[in-house]
Amino acid sequence: MFKHEKPLLRDVKVERPNPQYAVLMQEQLGGANGELKAALQYLSQSFRVKDPEIHDLFLDIAAEELSHMEMVAQTINLLNGHEVDYTKTPGGEIETHVLTGLAPGLINASGHPWTADYVNVTGDIAADLLSDIAAEQRAKVVYEYLYRQINDKYVKETIDFLLNREEAHNALFREALNKVQDRASNKDFGVTKDSRLYFDLSTPGRYFDDPEPTPPSFKNPRENSRETSRS
């Protein structure tokens, strides 16, 4: 069950309308690393999660991402101002001025529509968590790029908040991944020597110079922890 609280998670405002900044912010509304993608990815992943703590984590973060989406949309709304004028926006994203009447759309900064292809769901808790960690990292990078290019102090404050929340989600997903080290695809799939090999295929290198190369191997970190616990 969901419910909507009228106040934003954090108030947003702008110094003045700036349609070009609005276009940039569209990337985090309807882009591949945006807030809608994150919310629907974590929500979709939660449907198959049996661990109650991780299930709640996915739903909590998904709900927060929808709150972030609301903040981004309202920021775009304020930046777009009140008069449609496509000449104030860079080429590529004019839908806001000729189609949506300045309403924030589910499009990225180039005007391409949001797609469910952005959402990654495997049904495997380990694979999904790794995908989520990467997703939060990518979202943080996009916010860093936006922060450097948008010179509106209030929008920068919003971006700073959202960027830091991406860091928090990243840390939470990492903690969850640590909890499932022996589950799902994290389990060894028939341990053989082949899973312990590393090939240095750069040249010059010993694998091209040595007639009988012996590739280096690495130990499973879990084996090291087991050995430590036995001693």
Does the annotation flag 65 for ligand binding? yes
CB 75 within 8 A of CB 158: yes
> What pLDDT, on a 0 to 100 scale, did the predictor assign at position 119?
98
36 touches 106 (CB < 8 A): yes
The verdict on whether residue 56 carries a ligand-binding annotation is: yes
What domains are there in the chain, each with its CATH number?
Answer: 19-184 (1.20.1260.10), 190-230 (no CATH)
Average pLDDT over residues 25-35: 97
Is 27 labeled as ligand-binding? no
> Taking residues 178-189, what's their average pLDDT?
77
Quick one: pLDDT band at residue 73, thresholds 50, 70, 90? Answer: very high
pLDDT at 185 (0 to 100): 76
* Residue that wins the pLDDT comparison between 229 and 174: 174
- The residue with greater pLDDT, 226 or 177, is 177
Is 15 annotated among the ligand-binding residues? Answer: no
Q: Which two tokens stand for residue 126?
A: 């380990």
Residue 97: pLDDT band by 50, 70, 90 thresholds? confident
Check: CB of residue 168 under 8 Å from CB of residue 57.
Answer: no
One-letter amino acid at 175 equals: E
Neighbouring C-alpha atoms within 13 Å toward the C-beta of 50 = 5
Measured from the Cβ of residue 148, the count of other Cβ atoms closer than 10 Å reads 10
Entry pTM = 0.81
Q: Over range 5-34, report the average pLDDT.
A: 96
Q: Which residue has the higher pLDDT, 2 or 219?
A: 2
| Residue 227 counted as an annotated binding residue | no
What's the whole-number mean pLDDT along residues 222-231?
Answer: 57
Does 136 appear as a known binding residue? yes
Residue 60 annotated as binding?
yes
124 is in an annotated binding site: no
Assess whether pLDDT exceeds 90 at residue 108: yes
**Residue 163 near residue 144, CB atoms below 8 Å:** yes
Find out whether 54 and 70 touch, Cβ atoms under 8 Å.
Answer: no
The residue-averaged pLDDT of 170-175 equals 97
